[in-house]
Amino acid sequence: MTHDPSGEDSLIARYFKPLATDPGAFGLVDDAAIIPADGDDIVVKTDAIVEGVHYLPDDPPDTIARKALRVNLSDLAAKGAVPAGFVLTLALREKDEAWLAAFARGLGEDAAAFGCPLLGGDTVSTPGPVMISIAAWGRVPKGRMVHRFGADSGDRVMVTGTIGDATLGLRMLTGRAEAAALADDPAAREMLIGRYRVPQPRNALAAAVRDFASASMDVSDGLAGDLAKLCAASGVSADIELSHVPTSPAATRLLSSGATSWESLVSGGDDYEILCTVPAAQCEAFRAAANAADIAVTDIGAIVAGTNTPRFRDGQGRPITLRRLSFSHF
């Protein structure tokens, strides 16, 4: 009599046990895992991605795994935390071995690259879309997590990388007008699609955020909406120069030709960049630390007193009203 020869246990043993090399994971043969805590605070975070909502059904499975983990790594980075591990809930329609093998390979490569080991999980069947929920945790020295609150009048508003590429990448994949506008530049299209499928979490910046930022969060639902959240949590407002918001050459071209708008770029989701506020006196040190970590940071405006929604101005200083700030599920 054999036990569960082709069921979830063998699925886990085959695809995920090889990833669970951290001693706290006990090779996934136990019912729970251990995080040794040595006086640090443990920062915890959960984010889920759903087929057809956060990724497309025919996205390569390794990129789906990478995105599921990276959206959580991005939060840890913005909080100033060093990744310590994650657990995975995988809701699958059927057992597709080729899909699972590629998914597990991508997950394992990213877990190793970011130093964030798989510590456990749950695999369940669902008749509905595939869903991947990850809970991840990291460590910060006691009391040092960087919050959404803490931004103060006069602080500079800084953002990593470029904004709007991922939302354009989704439009490339769904055949929108933006795709036609880049018909002559397949490399640009591929870059944008890559930004949608595989975010680049800024974990190398975590220590600088911890050392210099007064408030911080990651940009996942749109820069404008996420900045509004940071300001609301901090009891402040902000003045943002849209012309200073960093964009990739592909996004810049689409902006120039009118194929996209600032509103689309700053309200579109999936950037997974860090948005943080840095006191003016710390900006030079923050920039130096970012340079040392090889991560681009851009000053896009200032925190100001007040509780109104952040103001956005165009290159001529004129206020722009955004009708839509961010992506919302409901």
233 binds a second copy (CB under 8 A): yes
Judged by CB under 8 A, which stretch of 58-66, 92-100, 158-166, 169-177 contacts a second copy?
Answer: 92-100
Query: Which segment (134-142, 152-160, 162-170, 180-188) binds a second copy by CB under 8 A?
Result: 134-142
SS3 30: coil
Decide whether 11 or 198 has the Cβ nearer to a second copy: 11
Smallest distance from the beta carbon of 177 to a second copy, in angstroms? 25
φ, ψ at 131 (rounded to 5°): -135, 135
Is 211 labeled as ligand-binding? Answer: no
Binding of a second copy at residue 34 (CB under 8 A)? yes
Task: Give yes or no for a contact between 93 and 123, defined as CB atoms under 8 angstroms apart.
Answer: no
CA–CA separation, 168 vs 247, rounded Å? 11
User: Should residue 252 be labelled a site residue for a second copy when binding is judged by CB under 8 A?
Assistant: no
List 51's β-bridge partners, or say none: 55
DSSP class of residue 146 equals P
Site for a second copy in 256-315 (CB under 8 A): 309
Q: Near a second copy by CB under 8 A, which window of 70-78, 168-176, 182-190, 287-295?
A: 70-78
The answer on whether 75 is annotated among ligand-binding residues is yes
Determine whether the annotation assigns residue 30 to a binding site: no
Q: Does 69 bind a second copy (CB under 8 A)?
A: no
The answer on whether 314 is annotated among ligand-binding residues is: no
Choose between 77 and 192: whose C-beta lies nearer to a second copy: 77
Counting every residue written for the chain, the total comes to: 330
Name the minimum Å distance from CB 254 to a second copy. Answer: 25
- The three-state secondary structure class of 270 is coil
Provide the minimum distance between the beta carbon of 227 and a second copy in the complex, in angstroms, as a whole number: 10
* Rounded Cα–Cα distance for residues 153 and 236 (Å): 7
Q: How far is CA 319 from CA 311, 312, 314, 315, 324, in A?
A: 7, 6, 6, 10, 15
DSSP strand pairing (273-278 vs 215-219): antiparallel
Q: Which is nearer to a second copy, 34 or 207 (CB)?
A: 34
Q: Which is nearer to a second copy, 142 or 294 (CB)?
A: 142
Contact call for residue 325 and a second copy (CB under 8 A): yes
Closest to a second copy by CB, 127 or 175: 127
Q: Is 148 marked as a binding-site residue?
A: yes
Q: Rounded to an integer, what is the distance from CA 315 to the centroid of its chain?
A: 28
* Cα dihedral 301, 327, 55, 138 in deg (nearest 10): 60
- Choose which of 21, 243, 291, 328 interacts with a second copy (CB under 8 A): 328
Q: Report the distance separating Cα 45 and Cα 137, nearest Å.
A: 6
Asked if 8 interacts with a second copy (CB under 8 A), we say yes
The verdict on 75 binding a second copy (CB under 8 A) reads yes
Question: Which of 68, 119, 206, 250 is in the footprint of a second copy by CB under 8 A?
Answer: 119
Span interacting with a second copy, options 77-85, 154-162, 200-208, 285-293, rule CB under 8 A: 77-85
# chain residues binding a second copy, by CB under 8 A: 83
**CA–CA gap between residue 43 and residue 60 (Å, rounded):** 30
47 is in an annotated binding site: yes
DSSP 75-141: HHHHTTPEEEEEEEEEEESS--HHHHHHHHHHHHHHHHHTT--EEEEEEEE-SS--EEEEEEEEEES
Task: Consult the annotation and say whether 185 binds a ligand.
Answer: no
Residues that constitute the known binding site for ATP: 121-122, 148, 220
Residues that constitute the known binding site for substrate: 54, 270, 327
